[in-house]
Structure 1
């Protein structure tokens, strides 16, 4: 009973049905062991019986009723588990058809009990001294969210047949569409090279100051925010620039107006119409901007939880992409001491990879490069120029280095071209993709070049109408 006199949520019938199946069939435990833990059971006796069955299975021994009874008796726990009469009662339970679904119902009841317990603890702590209120609120939010997250964790063990089904589906969709299945970056040649943006991965965009890192991020953010089937929301964490400055860049890119004119309000009537049109268009995007200097991983995680709720409420969309500008300005969570900068960056980098997997979204992470590239004759960056830690290179699925040769020339010699140097891409193609760059509005222009990545486009075009979905389906047989 709770302090309000209420019985905590539980389903004793479901608990009994699952235990009965385990005692009767050696395969039942294998089917539910990845779902259930002993603490998920409400009744102490059921918790003891399930623990005994798991212990026997771990030893390679049968977990039928005689073995479980003997195990509990040897541990002097048989009476606490209900004794032989209760075990016999379990054996008389009707068989359960949907065993995994019944096990998940037990977990759902446990989650409700956990939520009640967390809220009771938070309430009790709030009446006492909590120190910094903001930290207490963030901690409380994290504790409640951890309960919600438990049900969203996917299975870690996958059958080969299930993996092949997923592989086939994604490849068939890409073949039919003639383009990668990941979210588009807004640059077709780059998409063909890296396969688009896919959830659970970190994409690093790195460059020296003035190379267009933030411009790249806002371009990608626009592409994802305008994606359809389904629509996707975007979260940008700006550690360097104020939100207003990010907004000015978005307006300049959308309208084509000079950023200096926008910031200073030097706009003629025609330009003002362009400006207001861009403002109205961008204002409808499912885009959220977090302006936070010294952003730490715990704060980012908390902000993302709020962002996901806001996007769902205001736009009816799910979070589709996270952008961070930029890595080296982030801070650790304040709880660790690091002997050098590399250790600090390593912790932050691994935290961002964990966020990509936890929220099942691509994280586009901007990073600075050190000055080594400027000592080279051609000034082109290399992956070894990543500033701070080799862990950035390790954690990233893809590393894109930005290079604009005109930055090192006199203004009159500028040729308005830029290079996206894909230095690393798991499952993709490293190499250079050329794009245009409009300096006055800080905007990259997608200009697909005739590079090896375009072989993808030519091959897809040749397929054309030859793609027959029904014919392909015949090649897939589910076991």
Structure 2
């Protein structure tokens, strides 16, 4: 039985190389997507690589200039040495179809890679290893397929200033059509949206805070508000988008309970324990029915790797409108619970977190969506008199601060004040104690149901503090108006 040969077209490779040697400007048409290893014949790969090197150095690439570099190469000796270069030039009929030859060579390379990948998949599936489960093999296969599919895509490269201006005008037009609303994804928190301009595509946003500050509650509110916004826009005829929330700490049911408590205005603890009056339970059921169509997805897989998360985001983007408009927002709770990709893990947690943040930023750019990732803060915050976080408080702060486009902190003074009610000191007069206690009460009243979002870094906008309303009964953040929540919302 004859063995099938991998797909290749030596004539197309010879025609392209001959065209390049005849006119080096042909290289400009194919160099963006065609690499030396895309050629099937080793000699052709060597010649193409040498042509690229000479042209990049500003030299002419032809049989004469290439001869000193290639005459001793074993790959070229097999096809006749330097004389083969002259044969390539002599065989050229036209250089008009050179780009078509390059596209054909690239396509055949992809086919050979697919064949090799299929062979590897079969061999790996037959090998049972403890650290390589079937699910991990599937994720790796999907990753390799995606990388292969995007190899040679020509959607990158420099753009003219005119193209960039058109993109900027399109963003401004979108905002203008929304009557001054945001061009980015809105959080529905007016002051925060005003400070950030919404959550912008391809941005990595870090939301950090100490435990019990409400960072998960705020991220949940933002995710739900964004999903509700996308539902409204889809009903108006705009492309459908969705939000995916990766919850590595809480289960999907716990997150859904938080959202249900907030929307139905039922105390979250009573909802969890079942301590509800009949009318409250009826309201919960009605609210749940209304929320069924909200395009919010929750993935509560523990110890998820960046690669697995990227694979799931790509899959969700494809199944909901394609890579350009399937996803509108990705939320990750929280960064330190993510795992590095197999083979990229390091003994140093700082290095591993660096790889994770780079992966999240790459994901934001690849899918062109904002990625909101939660992060822990170090305990050194608790050692200071002023508990407001700062950039140096971020765990593994170097890589997080560097890769993030926006860094925000959640801070609730009320949390700390409730735990430091003053007591009378020895030898302190009653009058002095009453003064201190009255000052504490006044300060506690000012901080009651209030939260701060500290925008400590914003690559494209201002930094500063945004005040929000926080209702612990419903784990809900809202707009603050004159110190009180707006009556129509609360």
**TM-score of the superposed pair, with normalisation by structure 1:** 0.79
Contact 1:130/1:136 (8 A) holds in 2: no
Match of 1:459 in 2: none
Indicate how the Cα distance of structure 1 residues 343 and 74 shifts in structure 2: closer, same or farther if over 3 A, else same: closer
Match of 1:26, SS?
coil
Contact 1:38/1:51 (8 A) holds in 2: yes
Match of 1:93 in 2: 94
Indicate how the Cα distance of structure 1 residues 203 and 392 shifts in structure 2: closer, same or farther if over 3 A, else same: same
Match of 1:181 in 2: 183
| Corresponding position: 1:355 with 2:370 | no
| Corresponding position: 1:149 with 2:182 | no
Indicate how the Cα distance of structure 1 residues 322 and 448 shifts in structure 2: closer, same or farther if over 3 A, else same: farther
Match of 2:25, SS?
helix
Match of 1:352, SS?
helix
Count the aligned residue pairs. 444
Contact 2:208/2:374 (8 A) holds in 1: yes
1:186-201 map, 5 Å: 186-201=188-203
- Aligned counterpart in structure 2 of residue 251 of structure 1, from 260, 271, 274: 260
Cα drift, residue 240 of structure 1: 1.1
Match of 1:441, SS?
coil
Query: 1-side partners of 2:243 and 2:66: how far apart?
Result: 52
Indicate how the Cα distance of structure 1 residues 394 and 89 shifts in structure 2: closer, same or farther if over 3 A, else same: same
Match of 2:120 in 1: 121
Match of 2:434 in 1: none
Which structure has the larger Rg over C-alpha atoms?
2
| Corresponding position: 1:395 with 2:428 | no
Match of 1:221 in 2: 223
Cα drift, residue 272 of structure 1: 2.9
**Residues 243-265 of structure 1 deviation map (CA, whole Å, 9 limit, x = unaligned):** 11111112222322221232123
Cα drift, residue 7 of structure 1: 5.5
Match of 1:387, SS?
coil
Query: 2-side partners of 1:207 and 1:196: how far apart?
Result: 20
Contact 2:335/2:374 (8 A) holds in 1: yes
Query: 2-side partners of 1:40 and 1:448: how far apart?
Result: 62
Match of 1:458 in 2: none
**Residues 92-147 of structure 1 deviation map (CA, whole Å, 9 limit, x = unaligned):** 036139x4x76445433322321221011111232234443244333333333321
Query: 2-side partners of 1:153 and 1:4: how far apart?
Result: 38
- Aligned counterpart in structure 2 of residue 435 of structure 1, from 464, 468, 472: 468
| Corresponding position: 1:210 with 2:187 | no
Contact 1:14/1:106 (8 A) holds in 2: yes
Contact 2:33/2:152 (8 A) holds in 1: no
Query: 1-side partners of 2:150 and 2:481: how far apart?
Result: 41
Contact 2:468/2:478 (8 A) holds in 1: yes
Cα drift, residue 36 of structure 1: 0.9
Indicate how the Cα distance of structure 1 residues 103 and 318 shifts in structure 2: closer, same or farther if over 3 A, else same: farther
Indicate how the Cα distance of structure 1 residues 270 and 157 shifts in structure 2: closer, same or farther if over 3 A, else same: same
**Residues 254-311 of structure 1 deviation map (CA, whole Å, 9 limit, x = unaligned):** 3222212321233344333332233234332333222133333233334334443454
Indicate how the Cα distance of structure 1 residues 416 and 96 shifts in structure 2: closer, same or farther if over 3 A, else same: same
Indicate how the Cα distance of structure 1 residues 449 and 43 shifts in structure 2: closer, same or farther if over 3 A, else same: farther
Contact 1:205/1:366 (8 A) holds in 2: yes
Indicate how the Cα distance of structure 1 residues 84 and 346 shifts in structure 2: closer, same or farther if over 3 A, else same: closer
Unaligned runs of 5+ in 1: 451-479
Match of 1:440, SS?
coil
Indicate how the Cα distance of structure 1 residues 84 and 144 shifts in structure 2: closer, same or farther if over 3 A, else same: closer
Contact 1:186/1:220 (8 A) holds in 2: yes
Query: 1-side partners of 2:101 and 2:90: how far apart?
Result: 19
**Residues 418-475 of structure 1 deviation map (CA, whole Å, 9 limit, x = unaligned):** 221111101111011222222211111134789xxxxxxxxxxxxxxxxxxxxxxxxx
- Aligned counterpart in structure 1 of residue 306 of structure 2, from 297, 304, 307: 297
Contact 1:182/1:195 (8 A) holds in 2: yes
Contact 2:240/2:321 (8 A) holds in 1: no
Q: Give me the CA root mean square deviation.
A: 3.5
Indicate how the Cα distance of structure 1 residues 189 and 112 shifts in structure 2: closer, same or farther if over 3 A, else same: farther
Cα drift, residue 173 of structure 1: 4.1
1:7-22 map, 5 Å: 8-9=6-7, 15=13, 18-19=16-17, 21-22=19-20
Match of 2:84 in 1: 83
